[in-house]
Chains A and B, each alone.
Chain A
């Protein structure tokens, strides 16, 4: 498959800091990040005609309030729901919009204040208000079960029991991403941690400890999507959206477990990623071409699920792969080179897209991977985007 209009990223911007900012507003964070992205792209705000976001209120702001407050004149808007998981769907939606001629320049991202409304690892209010008696994260408030941390911990215990992985294996993921974040000037948490500190940190929901959970971060990040033709008159080298795969759903899909694992409504079966992921064919690459993998690491074990879901590791082997140094900057498959949600900051993966673009254009500073020309964003939920330096 190829995309006729050749959608690209042409700019990326963030707030100057990721952290906890009780005195700042969501709109202020959004304005700072969007201005940074437009400046980077070489665009005036009046040239922007598309806006896509994965969240509205209360964590972020609805698209119309953003446009009104920032004086944007937008002809194509889309807003997903109040979940972080829709970040790549938003980039896909923007790519489809420029492909279909609905817009020329689409800003994709948000400003958000996690700390204003949410609760670390889960949310009693959301658990009670968003759901009926059953929900996809495994919320069961009447049993004291919140989510996402609860649902993720359920899958993690299952994985550990089935394959022999341990909490110490997760510690290596925390430590690696913290080391990456230490090389990023805007990281929410940049102080290195040791395996021992991870192991001594408190359990939040056993088997997940404090350092297995991403923080609640305030900040903002946007990327700008346009066509390769439009990009020719702009200063930056584009990153080409070479392939896309949408979010999976169904009885064998779970937000926090590879298909075939056997929790919630999943059947237990031999999962073979090689026959399930069309994105590589669509992008015209193989897994061996992927220079770095970015995943939605709201919790450390998401790294295991992503590695196995996307076929970089066979089922039941990702914990060894991640433990043995392979996901570090010098490893076989560097992951979340900015420190991910776990340490760079929980900007619901918009910071992942900014980092991928920075890596592809050689602007990743001390984190820069040599010769990196192909990046993949891919979540345990099944959605993915492959970015390349060339079509």
Chain B
């Protein structure tokens, strides 16, 4: 796909590095165990800095979703209507990504699990499929 927007990687670099290995990792507090997303330099529960990028189950449920009918990105012109969903992960955080299913099949509470799409040599995008 040409001109496809890619993530601008900064403090979430470990997330994208893991994704390129098809691993779904987020920060887990070394003090209280809280799993957080988006990335933060401190735990959003206890403000401890110690953390590791823990591999998650990749399982979750659809919390909410949208379906794009208008083309905002040239790279997605052939994809409309396409969905983007907010998935509430088993470990707590919510992650925004498409669910690979018919848009009409989406519902709140739909169980999904993560899959990866290799976009470039460096970037693989986490997405979800119905479970």
Contact = CB atoms under 8 A, between A and B. Distances in A.
Interface of A: 119-124, 127-128, 131-134, 138, 140-146, 150, 153-155, 157-158, 161, 202-207, 251, 262-265
Contact of B73 (A144, A158, A206, A264): A144
B41 interface: no
Given A132-B8, A140-B84, 19 more contacts: A133-B8, A133-B10, A134-B12, A138-B96, A142-B4, A143-B96, A144-B75, A150-B66, A153-B66, A154-B65, A158-B108, A161-B108, A203-B69, A205-B66, A206-B67, A206-B81, A263-B86, A263-B94, A264-B86
Contact of A143 (B38, B44, B81, B98): B98
Contacts of A206: 66-69, 81, 103
Contacts of B50: none
A124 B75 CA distance: 11
A298 to B, nearest CB: 16
Interface in B16-72: 16, 38-39, 44, 63-70, 72
A124 B72 contact: yes
What does DSSP make chain A's interface, helix, strand, loop or mixed? mixed
Interface centre among B9, B70, B86 (most CB of A within 10 A): B70
B69 A142 contact: no
B104 to A, nearest CB: 10
A262 B69 CA distance: 25
Contacts of B86: 154, 158, 263-264
A157 B69 contact: no
Contact of B125 (A138, A143, A153): A143
Q: List the 5 closest A-B pairs by CB distance, nearest first.
A: A141-B5, A158-B64, A206-B67, A144-B76, A153-B66
B17 to A, nearest CB: 13
B39 A155 contact: no
B38 A144 contact: no
B1 to A, nearest CB: 11
A150 B125 CA distance: 19
